[in-house]
Amino acid sequence: MTADDDPIYARLRQRMVREQLSECRDPRVLAAMAAVPRERFVPDDARALAYSDGALPIGCGQTISQPRVVACMLAALRLAPGMRVLDVGCGSGYTAALLAELVSPGGAVYALERIADLAERARQRLQGLPVVVIHADAHGGWPAAAPYDAIHVAAAAATVPPALLAQLAPQGRLVMPLGPPEEQELWLYEGGRRSCLGGVRFVPFVPGTVPPSA
């Protein structure tokens, strides 16, 4: 997804990369975040805040993550063209768009979202990208497209759901927040090992699905 927006947003996006993402050392992640227009993935009344240093509400009690946290998670996955990725907790679709940028050409992103209204909005925003948005309970992952080279999880649980680890390729990487709201930490799983990437705060990993609103 290439930005073709107002020059004001382009400047804000470049400032976000320069000022908020200085700790990210992955040039491909920085380039993707400089290219994908974050303002398209927030409600209209929040577009002026799209490049602020924080999470923003996107409706249905969910949020779009803080840019620096998104960059940290993407860099940890070490994505490359041609990879197959599972995105758990698609939300607005912003991270799925970034994932698509990082695995193109030849890659694919399967984005799971439990709230039907959010899934449909994300599906519309992501048209034309190699992203399949699926309304589903993500605790079971999406075995139809497994194994995955990378799994990105944007919701916190006490432990990683076993189905997600089972659907990870042998040399694949999974990044996910774990712990209660006040003590969450971001963890990277790779080759049977895990490492902590620091403290975070995410919405909880909730089972089940939410049907479309009337």
- 138: which residues sit within 8 A by CB, 6+ positions away? 88, 89, 112, 113, 114, 153, 155, 161, 205
Cβ-contact 108, 130 below 8 angstroms = yes
104 tagged catalytic: no
What distances in angstroms separate CA 29 from CA 23, 35, 43, one per listed residue?
Answer: 12, 10, 24
Which of 22, 52, 65, 104 is catalytic? The answer is 65
The SS3 call for residue 204 is strand
Q: Residue 152 forms beta bridges with which residues?
A: 87, 175
Contact 95, 101 (CB under 8 A): no
Q: Please, where are the H alpha helices in the chain? A: 7-20, 27-35, 67-77, 94-103, 116-125, 162-166
The residue with tokens 């803080």 is 66
Mapping DSSP to helix (H, G, I), strand (E, B) and coil, where does residue 109 land? strand
Q: How far apart are the first and last CA of the chain?
A: 31
Q: Going along the chain, which residue ranges are E strands?
A: 56-59, 62-64, 84-88, 108-113, 131-135, 148-153, 168-178, 185-190, 193-199
Residues annotated catalytic, as ranges: 65
